[in-house]
Structure 1
């Protein structure tokens, strides 16, 4: 198991944010269905197709230059607000194609994105976005077919590897003159995919079909792919806080930091997208604070943060001294403790994506864990329950860890 996949060192540890964009592989069946339902609702209302048209018309102002990442951050944010008009609090999940990188990955299940195209037409036949399911018809822009098409691995053999992404994240500056697809190394040019390891573009090419042209939002997979691209930019911004957006001036209109952003003139500039404070979302790799009675994969507790059972009778706290304490809320009577007092002051407790609940000290060294991490336990959830137990459950509902012991 790749440790970088399990634990990303977030810059905003335990931050309370309203919305968390999560790895699609961590969603349970109900969450997947809710997301698909919202997409279909936007499609039936005509709102969705407006975004397909907008992306197909933006051209250079949103691609092949430094505005690529800011423009798509704003584009995704506006679409996410549309989703939230359908289902309050809903966010766009991201697809980590360095990990879920095969045609058999769960993202292609019929209850989510559907699979590869079939036959000479490369027509998607599975899932709710299949044309024959009766709910999804692509706009005839660039490709003349109404049915959704995909061509896994036909135009390029593989998706980006974890090492490709790691190498890209080390590159500075953000961009370089001539502010286009030139061969001068820069972070944006590598991530977009015009030079080097060809990351973002490579994904569009690997999926193929409707994901290839500028009308690529015809395939709902577009949003999950671009959420991951935005996540990597957010990570680069955190890792290189000394770096600024380039260019400040001298590029074509719409590419410089102060410039208004097409087509949202008068309301949005490149500069307004560089910090996410106004967007109110973070990613599950940025250690969002656990809330309520549960922890989802990536959720964290830092000093004195706590969960409570839904009836309020039990509290699960990560103490400032690095100890986990499960107690009765009324009198703090302890029911269980991790026994890590003094071992992780200034540390963090995190439910990792492989289902392992772990404590890390301030130097990110693991000092305690539930030893429940495995591929089978991916997307597990941690709960503080009515009966006073703190438990980890697999997505299939099977418990894999519980304290106090049943005895």
Structure 2
């Protein structure tokens, strides 16, 4: 044992390396300009432990912090610290002092929040109260999404802990990771085991995708959203259809693929309309075009004939499309409009003209601005615009609802 170790005990790096193993995390070695850190995943969240230095004039102070971004669309805020510390914090955020109904806890801690009922539910959790009470110094709060670490996606905030000095107590650090995991489960999942909870999976699906990165990756939203889509398909509840349909055009095509599979499994007729629009989508999704995946899903929903009609139009066969008088005309027109700038743009433009889709004129004009008229697709789009503009200019036959019955001629015998 070295003299320094005998005098001061294990170094921070030694303690934090051991911690990373105990929490199933990863130790990040510090460098010349970076501090060492520990990161661990729990459910959908990444918990990051590191230190930072705050400079004030000629003095500087080191803080240990933990942080974990999470989806917080309701804007729930709370702040807790031991009584006598940070007494002015929270006021500028519009938060009020709250008693949560546990006498000793209310005596020892100051709690502020913008949602009193919700913060009481949070601290009704006995395990959370116990883990907080185990911390000799604590400042635990929710930080807004435009804090020190860059702009977070809309709806994402950060659970944040800080304490002065460098924490090297292994038991205390492990308790902090346990506290973060428990608080995140409570505020995001209300402490429930969420594997079979449709409402929670819908919430997970609506969270932002992508990454938040500082020195390390702090948030990865794509994986949890894909997992949520797959879970909703497994659970088969029609209540999930609108949420699944809302991610079909997401940039994450793998998420879209999972949503398409889920809609097919749920077998609800409300899924047909949002799926039809994507029949011509050529984006790659997990080894197959999105449009092919949509066609398979629609066949499972009993719409094989509809798939054949649209596929025929993309191939230049407009006969069945012209005869179609079903309920999905608007969605077919959207699918054709989306295909104007793809490989089947010529056929899509001709199809829109053949079915007299004057409602597609704005989309056709937009496509012409993008493609120009110097290629076959552009020429077809230009011709379709002319044909549909001519049709739109024709006098419209009056509907019965347009006629004022008081102006119609009456028979001589009809009473006034």
Shorter-normalised TM range: under 0.3
For the pair shown, the structure with the greater C-alpha radius of gyration is 2
After TM superposition, the score normalised by the length of structure 1 is 0.27
User: Relative contact order (C-alpha < 8 Å, sep 6+): which is higher?
Assistant: 1
